[in-house]
Amino acid sequence: MSSIGRPVSPDQSNKLLVIDDQPDLCEFISEAAAGLGFESKGVTDPEAFRRAVQEFQPSVVVLDLQMPGADGIELLRYLGERGSKAQILVASGMDQRVLATAQQIGKAHGLQMLGALQKPILLADLEATLRQCLSSDTPISAAALTAALDKREIIVHYQPKATRIAPNRWIVEGVEALARWNHPSLGFVSPVRFIPLAEKNGLIRRLTEQVLETALSQCRAWDAVGLQLSVAINLSPQLLNDLAFPDQVARMAAQVGADARRIIFEVTESAAMFDPGTTMDVLTRMRVKNFGLSIDDFGTGYSSLKQLYLMPFSELKIDTSFVRDVFAHEDARTMVETMVLLAHKLRLTACAEGVESQEVLDFLDSVGCDRAQGYFIGRPMAGTALEIAVREWNSRQK
């Protein structure tokens, strides 16, 4: 059932501003936002938008790209010049390539781009996107996160990754470890909230070490029941500037007797390009110590292909935004196929994220993609649940 018509008391930290030259669409988006608990405001002209940005101070902005008077790209530039911290959602009837480019322009202006909605906008899609932006009434402090690390409240869930071992045969041989904060009073706190807090307050190395330690212990438990899985762990950009980090993780792996070749560190494309000199030093030493390295969210950053081929990655992860559109847009299919080919030409393993149906998995099979990850294969789950899910999946592939 839609939340429209069942307004929730607005949280003052959740303010949504929408600009669209169609008043009916402004009203539709505003009502959907109000139903989720946003204080919402809709405007139809650029001047009213600029005033509202200053006076209303939105936490979320829904921005139409095609308007008379000022287009959405101009308004993205305006938000960037003002140093806006709002999350930005672009909306348009234009094709996905234009929407994707608009998001990249927003990121280049330092904006937090939430994504894109293609018109006509479906209520379910709009509500699902806006729910991601809702802020909690309770602020999370660095002291609270430090206490959580002390009390081991950070737990790890695991999302399966399937490997193509033959045409139409995909076996789960690895997982991605994902941090979750099980707060005693707030329940599960999204990593979107606590990971930036850890990075800002010098806690990201400790958090990463705790996730790695937990994941390695879980791998030992899986080994004991005959389930050998590789484990992938995300690396913050800050750790790519820490020359001592490769030695630290090598010691941790040695202490538990873990095979470094079964540990993969995932680095986003943008992070890898931030300081190429130091990053290349850190990543190369990781590879010398036999850890795997995956370049995550490939295709969404402004990377130099020369730097990419010089850096010692072993896996290329194709971003969800391409994979989910392979049946909606021919360009997305072309991009995925090309990135698989690029990975293989560079002697890398190609892994596709965001696999949510058998049809998408079949397409990846047809273009020779090596690995796949997504809700169709399995959602993130606790270690014991994952053991059962992996055995069930693999038994169906025989």
| DSSP conformation letters of 366-391 | HTT--EEESTTT---B-HHHHHHHHH
Q: How many CB atoms lie within 10 A of CB 42?
A: 22
Give the residue from 369, 361, 378, 357 showing the smallest Cα distance to 160.
Answer: 378
Q: What 3-state class would DSSP assign to 68?
A: coil
Q: Up-side HSE of residue 274: CA atoms within 13 Å toward CB?
A: 14
**Mean local confidence (pLDDT), 179-183:** 88
- In this predicted structure, the answer to whether residue 4 has a pLDDT above a threshold of 50 is no
Q: What is the pLDDT of residue 103?
A: 87
pLDDT interval class at 3 (50, 70, 90): very low
Calculate the alpha carbon distances from 32 to 24, 36, 204, 237 in Å: 12, 7, 36, 36
Greater confidence (244 vs 10) lies with 244
Work out the burial of residue 305: count CB atoms within 10 Å of its CB; fewer than 13 is exposed, 13-18 middle, 19 or more buried.
exposed
pLDDT interval class at 8 (50, 70, 90): very low
Greater confidence (314 vs 298) lies with 314
Q: How much is the mean pLDDT over the chain? A: 87
**Mean local confidence (pLDDT), 50-68:** 91
Which tens digit of pLDDT belongs to each residue from 22-43? 888 898 898 888 877 788 899 9
Greater confidence (126 vs 18) lies with 18
**Mean local confidence (pLDDT), 61-74:** 88
**Mean local confidence (pLDDT), 259-282:** 82
Q: Read off the pTM.
A: 0.71
Give the residue from 327, 393, 321 showing the smallest Cα distance to 363.
Answer: 327
Q: How many whole angstroms separate alpha carbon 266 and alpha carbon 155?
A: 19
Which tens digit of pLDDT belongs to each residue from 233-243? 999 888 888 89
